[in-house]
Amino acid sequence: MDPVTLAVLDNRLRAIVEEMGEAMLRTSYSQILNSSRDFSIALCDAQCRLVAQADHIPVHVGAMPWAAKAIAEAFPQPVEGDTYLLNDPYFGGSHLPDLTIVIPVFAEGALRFWSVVRAHHSDIGGATHGGYNPGATEIWQEGVRVPPIRLGEGGGLRDDLIRMLATNTRIPRDFTGDLMAMIGAARLGEQRLKPLLAKYGADGLEAAVSAILDLSEAHARRILAAWPDGEWRGEAFLDDDGFDRVDVAIRARVVKRGDSLTVDLSESDPQTTGFVNSSYPNMRSAVAMAFAFLLDPDVAKNDGAFRPVEVIAQEGTVVWARPGAPVTMCTSHCSNEIVEAIIRALQHCCPERAMGGWGRRFRVAITGQDARRPGRRFVWHLFQARPGGGGSAGGDGWSTSGEWHSAGGLKFGSVEMAEARFPLLFESHEYRPGSAGDGQFRGGLGGRLSLKVESDGPCRANTAGDGVRHGSAGMCGGEDGKPHHYVLRRADGTERVLKTKEVGITVNPGDRVIVEASGGGGWGDPAQRDPAARARDAAEGLV
Amino acid sequence: MLTYRIGIDVGGTFTDVVGIASDGGQILAKAASTPADQSEGVVNGLANLAKALGLDLASLLARTERIVHGTTVATNALLEKQGARLALLTTEGHRDVIEMREGLKPERYNMRMPAPAPLVPRRLRLPVTERLRADGSVLVPLDPASLDAAIAAAKAAGVEAVAIAFLHAWAAPQHENAAAEKVRAAMPGVFVTTSAEVLPQIKEFERFSTTAVNAYVGPVVSRYLAKLAGRLESAGFAGPLFVILSHGGIAPVEEAARLAVGTALSGPAGGVAAAVALAKEGLGQDLITFDMGGTSTDIALIVGGEAALGRGRDVGGERIALESLDIVTLGAGGGSIGHLGPGGTLQVGPRSAGAVPGPACYGQGGTEPTVTDANLVLGYLDPANFLGGAKTLDLAAAQAAVARLAAQLGIAPMACAAGIHALVNARMADGVRVATVRRGVDPRDSALLAFGGAAGLHATAVARELGLQRAAVPLFAAGLSAWGMLHTDLRYELAQSAIGAGGIPEDAELRRLFDSLEAQGRSRMAGWYQGEVTAKRSADMRYGEQVFEIAVPLDGIDWEGPDLAGQLRAAFHARHRALFTYDLPEEEVVLVNARIAVVGALPMGGAAQREGAGGPAAPLGSRRIAIDGTALEAPVYGFDALAPGQEIAGPALVESATTTVLLRPGDAARMDERGWLDIALH
């Protein structure tokens, strides 16, 4: 294949996923999609190899081909005009709130590509609002399960099926609106691939795709080959599973030989009662995410780039739960801890590429009444007071930029808008001094928030997250960031520490939620830190 | 006696000066840009224009009715981090808003990317004890002691500018105004700006950041404009000096100094204004502007004859939330370097040869093949006649640079040159696709308007790749931005947030809100201009739980009629349907911002009419060129010599001193009497 045509097609395929992503942003309905961009777009070839993926949320980077594979297995004879849907983590999904639309693209009478769109829905039924149920001990308590289904054929859709699914969610309108946006984006991918297939021929395009994947593989292997060979171990701990287990370990044994890497997670702890277990595709994605973070940013994230990595894991461990176990938390936790364990291992191999730990997610949702809008129940999700990013050889970490799995891709909303629309007062929302892990390059600062609730009558709150026992990991001699510390301060001044996995907390008007978020992990020996940088941190009031 | 209007566009390399005479005559002069003090290049350009007209500078300026200027002073200050040292006075407990950037970081997989330094360091983000609620009521009164302490700290730091940005000042500016008054009294000569004055809109990050940028560029822009006005005055100019702003309208120089942040896109705004003017002349209602320069390419959309506006953008990594032209900039142009990418494929850009060393063919030491080198090797450029003969290109150097890359790729040099040309075309087309789909526009319904030095060689290939039927290249392609500045109106934009816990204010409140905004706008315009003034109302609205507002034009609203809120709701549902194919009639509709654009219509000249003397011009000669792997002999025409209505079929080259148009096989060009080459693509 000539290098010019190859370069043109490589650009074109990436532009198609970017255009699909723009269409998704423009047409999605719910906040979680159009503001937080919690969705991913991918093109896979007929063999379900990842060809191109738009950069939205890193946690989905390696997961999408598993959805295409699950569809291909369930429907060995796809027909042009079919639309498929799944969300089940035991059939190609990550966790139940992530719905995935898969559309087959045909040319010259045969399947050539899969156009794949995954998006996090704001509600998927189940026992609690918003999909995160810390009390779940089995997946059936987490929401509606959708194994691979044919949602429509001949370009049409089964309205009855969509109604049935929507009926099982709390906000059917959001569900349907977002589903339509997903289908529209997936169809756009099909429309854009067709002229390419016509112009270059199905065989020509397939040859180009194979060559593009091979080039990415060579790119990744060239980078790997420059690292020293060896075997290293790293472990990371979840705080707890919300039930009786604390310090749940994720253990990575990483072997680097030549231009290949083996990541063995099989020594990780057994699966847990609560929802911090990972599904298999999510675990594969977390490994891919860790690897992608260590490569150069310009390596194309496709099947070729991930070929040098072999993954070994055991079913029944926390990183690969047996069917039936709850897994909703997994795209955050234990996804982040899988990354952390791998980077901990490889910090000894490629220290200049390793980075201090990014924060862990600790979400709070509050629901109640607003006297200014009688009769309308509000539901508010905490996105402010984000944790910090990790330090690296490139410099200090990014402050309040979030978790490893989103890496600065999730936006928190305006405080003014929140106050205008919810009975909440953000008394202060600034950096949390001293939260960053020290190092030659320190972590980013976490946020600190004092939030006063001014609702009409009592509210109820749920939490879902991790990171009050374990801060963001320091790497290469850097120190850990301070862990999260969330407090509920009653109007009468009494306080209690919030746990990361609670349901049904009563919050009364005048109560405050005081959030102190984790800073990022430091990188490198703190003794090596430039004294000028220390002086600047002191002058800036960051320590 | 002829009088003149003059447009001045300061580019990275050249300052273009366009004069339009009262008899419709148009003339372009150029001078080298002078980055250290742009006003020097401006005056040199004016002197060159005077010379070309056979006048001295003083007599030209004495006959000049108005000068409109596009400046990159604010843009450069942001890109080069050369703005003023400033302090930010802000609500206690919220001083990290501008550095937190809503939690966003660019480049998901670039984990080792250092965080940028904020415009204002944390120690100069000074807390003031005060607090408003979202309805504008006072929760904590402004504490004078905390204000004094902040002012003392700002003074001690020796700042040149102070930005004042308090929470919910969009709803009630009194705390900011009181603070500003005290700062002005205590710190004479310091540039002071408040968030309610710059952008009285809810969403603190956008408002605070825009205000901080205004303080950062304000002193620099004010100094520059004062110097320019002084130079022009002492050279004999007594007329009004205007500056083109990021929204594509113009304003007097005093306004540009006050709201300096509004000049951040002044540079590329002229080209978009030109496209709007050409749309009025009959070029077409739906256009895609394609302004390809040396290091970057600007793309903007004209929809229904009007330029698309966006609600903000980043310049130099800083958020500016003012309404501005929705220009998409791609990091590729004629100077972009072709190279073997780390992934093993051919890549073009993002590195550029810039002005120094420039493309290999400039003979200034460049050794890597640029897009311009590839175009020269393919025969599209005349080595002996570049910039009207002002420069000779070194073909051998270009061939050697291309051959080196070809060897790395294992292909023939001509295939490599063709590859660079094709790849940059594909990237441009992809950029246009994303720019259009992001805005819900199907590019195939538009015509491509190509201008800027490099666009003519790529226009029809890019248009074909996009499935367009038509492209156009104005004869004035190289000076089009300066020309456009003389074809746009005075414009003043105001906005006011009006969001409460409810959805849309009641009818009486709605009338009061829009009437008061319009009165403010008309009153400011009256200070600039006595002619006809129109006001356009619009609103930013959304469904209750959505996060992004959409702009809803309110042209058809009966403001005195019944159920005004209901009319606004209906307008929003219809707009939502038009943009996103669906609406949600049951859902709560929220009005976030009320907007007014006040426009003062200036007299314009039309496009340059071509005189119909003589028959069709014969080719000047021919050149051997390679198109899509085929070598052929293409006729070369002089752009200036083409007769109105003259038709040329591709393959052919059409050259002027400042631009070259490549017509590919299947392209059918016709010289329009209104001054552009109109190309049908078959």
Q: Within a domain: residue B344?
A: no
Q: Does B277 score more than 60 pLDDT?
A: yes
Here the tokens at position A172 are: 């059917």
Instruction: Report, in angstroms and rounded to the nearest whole number, the Rg of chain A calculated over CA atoms.
Output: 23
* B559 reaches A (C-beta below 8 A): no
| CB-nearest partner of A420 from B106, B202, B543 | B202
What 8-state DSSP symbol labels residue B443? G
What span, in angstroms and rounded, lies between the C-alpha atoms of A521 and A445? 10
Q: Are residues B206 and B258 in the same domain?
A: no
Here the tokens at position A287 are: 């490994």
Of the residues B88, B98, B109, the best mutation for testing chain A's interface (the one with the most A CB atoms within 10 Å of its CB) is: B109
Q: Does the interface ipTM go beyond 0.85?
A: yes
Distances (CA, A) of B393 to B359, B376, B389, B652: 10, 8, 10, 21
Burial class (CB in 10 A: 0-12, 13-18, 19+), A214: middle
What 8-state DSSP symbol labels residue B316? T
Q: Which helix (H) or strand (E) holds B180?
A: helix B174-186
Angle between helical axes of B413-437 and A3-27 (0-180°, round to 10): 0
Q: How many domains does chain B have?
A: 4
Q: Given the DSSP bridges, would you call strands B64-70 and B241-244 parallel, antiparallel or unpaired?
A: parallel
Residue A76: predicted pLDDT: 96
* pLDDT 10s digits, A259-301: 999 999 999 999 999 999 999 999 999 999 999 999 999 898 9
Neighbours of A376 (CB within 10 A): 11
Distances (CA, A) of B170 to A443, B96, B259, B445: 35, 19, 17, 40
Least-confidence region, from A291-295, B95-99, B300-304, B663-667 = B300-304
Do A183 and A83 touch, CB atoms closer than 8 A?
yes
Do B451 and B424 touch, CB atoms closer than 8 A?
no
Distances (CA, A) of A58 to A114, A131, A298, A446, A494: 20, 20, 14, 20, 40
**Owning domain of residue B525:** 490-600
Q: Are residues B89 and B203 in the same domain?
A: yes
Residues of chain A contacting residue B111, judged by C-beta atoms under 8 Å apart = 293, 355, 389-390, 392, 394, 407
Do A435 and A517 touch, CB atoms closer than 8 A?
yes
Here the tokens at position B182 are: 């005290």
Which of these three, B198, B216, B234, is where a domain ends? B216
| 3-state SS, residue B140 | strand
- The model's confidence at residue B269, banded by pLDDT at 50, 70 and 90, is very high
Burial class (CB in 10 A: 0-12, 13-18, 19+), B145: exposed
Neighbours of B513 (CB within 10 A): 16
Q: Do A3 and B426 touch (CB under 8 A)?
A: no
Residue B351: predicted pLDDT: 85
What span, in angstroms and rounded, lies between the C-alpha atoms of B204 and B198? 12
Q: Which helix (H) or strand (E) holds A172?
A: helix A172-200
The C-alpha of A68 sits at a distance from chain B's nearest C-alpha, in angstroms, of 24
Q: Within a domain: residue A350?
A: no
What span, in angstroms and rounded, lies between the C-alpha atoms of B676 and B674? 6
Q: Within a domain: residue A172?
A: yes
What span, in angstroms and rounded, lies between the C-alpha atoms of B382 and B622? 10
Least-confidence region, from A502-506, B262-266, B575-579 = B575-579
What 8-state DSSP symbol labels residue A481? P
Q: Are residues B111 and B18 in the same domain?
A: no
| 3-state SS, residue A15 | helix
Q: Are residues B58 and B108 in the same domain?
A: no
Q: Does B527 score more than 90 pLDDT?
A: no
Q: Are residues B71 and B110 in the same domain?
A: no
| CB-nearest partner of B204 from A4, A414, A430 | A414
Indicate which CATH number applies to the domain containing B495: 3.30.1490
Which residues are B208's β-sheet partners?
A: none
* B409 reaches A (C-beta below 8 A): yes
Q: Does B437 score more than 80 pLDDT?
A: no
Here the tokens at position A445 are: 């600062």
**Which amino acid is it at A28?**
S
Which of these three, A217, A238, A267, is where a domain ends? A217
Here the tokens at position B217 are: 């560029």
Residue B581: predicted pLDDT: 65
**Which amino acid is it at B660?**
T
Q: From A8, which residue of chain B is nearest by alpha-carbon distance?
A: B423
Q: Are residues B528 and B502 in the same domain?
A: yes
What span, in angstroms and rounded, lies between the C-alpha atoms of B232 and B43? 8
Q: Within a domain: residue B128?
A: yes
Q: Within a domain: residue A494?
A: yes
Q: Are residues B650 and B548 in the same domain?
A: no
The closest alpha carbon to B96, from A504, A289, A107, A415, belongs to: A415
| CB-nearest partner of A394 from B112, B548, B581 | B112
| 3-state SS, residue B224 | helix
**How many Å separate Cα A87 from the centre of its chain?**
15
Q: Are residues B105 and B210 in the same domain?
A: yes
Cα-Cα-Cα-Cα dihedral sign, residues B242, B243, B249, B254: negative
* B347 reaches A (C-beta below 8 A): yes
Q: Within a domain: residue A538?
A: yes
* B106 reaches A (C-beta below 8 A): yes
What span, in angstroms and rounded, lies between the C-alpha atoms of B21 and B8? 15
Q: Within a domain: residue A171?
A: yes
| 3-state SS, residue B594 | strand
Low pLDDT (below 50) residues in chain A: none
Sheet architecture: strand order including B652-655: B621-627, B630-638, B652-655, B660-663
Spell out the alpha helix ranges (H) of B187-303: 195-198, 204-234, 253-258, 266-278
Here the tokens at position B472 are: 């156009």
Residue B631: predicted pLDDT: 94
Tokens 């966003």 sit on residue: B104
Least-confidence region, from A279-293, B82-96, B593-607 = B593-607
Mean pLDDT score across all residues of chain B: 91
What span, in angstroms and rounded, lies between the C-alpha atoms of A321 and A313? 11
**Per the omega criterion (within 30 degrees of 0), is the bond before A44 cis?**
no
Angle between helical axes of B174-186 and B144-156 (0-180°, round to 10): 40
Residue A539: predicted pLDDT: 96
Here the tokens at position B216 are: 């950062």
| 3-state SS, residue A80 | coil
What span, in angstroms and rounded, lies between the C-alpha atoms of A518 and A512? 19
Helices (H) and strands (E) in chain B, counts: 17, 35
Q: Are residues B632 and B645 in the same domain?
A: yes
Q: Within a domain: residue B286?
A: no
Q: Do B437 and A23 touch (CB under 8 A)?
A: yes
Here the tokens at position A219 are: 């790119």
* B107 reaches A (C-beta below 8 A): yes
Residue A305: predicted pLDDT: 95
Q: How many domains does chain A have?
A: 2
| 3-state SS, residue B416 | helix
Of the residues A430, A448, A537, the best mutation for testing chain B's interface (the one with the most B CB atoms within 10 Å of its CB) is: A430
Which of these three, A217, A242, A267, is where a domain ends? A217
Q: Within a domain: residue B564?
A: yes
Q: Do B94 and A428 touch (CB under 8 A)?
A: yes
What span, in angstroms and rounded, lies between the C-alpha atoms of B367 and B401? 6
Of the residues B90, B107, B112, B462, the best mutation for testing chain A's interface (the one with the most A CB atoms within 10 Å of its CB) is: B112
Of the residues B330, B345, B346, B628, the best mutation for testing chain A's interface (the one with the most A CB atoms within 10 Å of its CB) is: B345
Q: Within a domain: residue B103?
A: yes
Q: Within a domain: residue B520?
A: yes
| Residue B84 neighbours by CB under 8 Å, 6+ apart | B159, B160, B161, B191, B215, B216, B217, B218, B219, B220
Which of these three, A199, A217, A235, is where a domain ends? A217
Q: From B438, which residue of chain A is nearest by alpha-carbon distance?
A: A22
- pTM tops 0.90, yes or no: yes
- The model's confidence at residue B545, banded by pLDDT at 50, 70 and 90, is low
Q: Are residues B86 and B212 in the same domain?
A: yes
Angle between helical axes of B507-526 and B564-580 (0-180°, round to 10): 80
Furthest-apart CA pair in chain A: how many Å?
74
| 3-state SS, residue A84 | strand
Q: Within a domain: residue A240?
A: no
Q: What is the mean pLDDT of residues B557-562?
A: 94
- The model's confidence at residue B87, banded by pLDDT at 50, 70 and 90, is very high
- The model's confidence at residue B580, banded by pLDDT at 50, 70 and 90, is low
Cα-Cα-Cα-Cα dihedral sign, residues A28, A31, A37, A43: negative
3-state secondary structure B250-281: EEEHHHHHHCHHHHCCHHHHHHHHHHHHHHHH
Most confident of A221-235, B375-389, B437-451, B566-580: A221-235
- The model's confidence at residue B439, banded by pLDDT at 50, 70 and 90, is low
Quote the strand ranges of A270-343, DSSP E.
Answer: 309-312
Q: Within a domain: residue B96?
A: yes
Q: Does B550 score more than 80 pLDDT?
A: yes
The C-alpha of A216 sits at a distance from chain B's nearest C-alpha, in angstroms, of 6
Distances (CA, A) of B279 to B272, B323, B622, B651: 11, 22, 33, 27
Q: Within a domain: residue A247?
A: no
Distances (CA, A) of A369 to A30, A172, A376: 21, 21, 7
The closest alpha carbon to B135, from B517, B503, B544, B498, belongs to: B498
Here the tokens at position A529 are: 């830190």
Burial class (CB in 10 A: 0-12, 13-18, 19+), B619: middle
Q: Are residues B181 and B119 in the same domain?
A: yes
Do B210 and B261 touch, CB atoms closer than 8 A?
yes
**Owning domain of residue A204:** 3-217
| CB-nearest partner of B437 from A22, A396, A444 | A22
CB within 8 Å of chain A, chain B residues 128-187: 133-134, 139, 167-168, 170
Sheet architecture: strand order including A485-489: A424-431, A447-453, A512-516, A485-489, A495-497
Do B251 and B490 touch, CB atoms closer than 8 A?
yes
Q: Are residues B120 and B164 in the same domain?
A: yes
What span, in angstroms and rounded, lies between the C-alpha atoms of B251 and B322? 15
Q: Phi, psi at residue A440, to the nearest 5°?
A: -55, -40
Instruction: Count interface pairs A-B at CB distance under 8 A.
Output: 224
What span, in angstroms and rounded, lies between the C-alpha atoms of B431 and B670? 27
Q: Within a domain: residue B338?
A: no
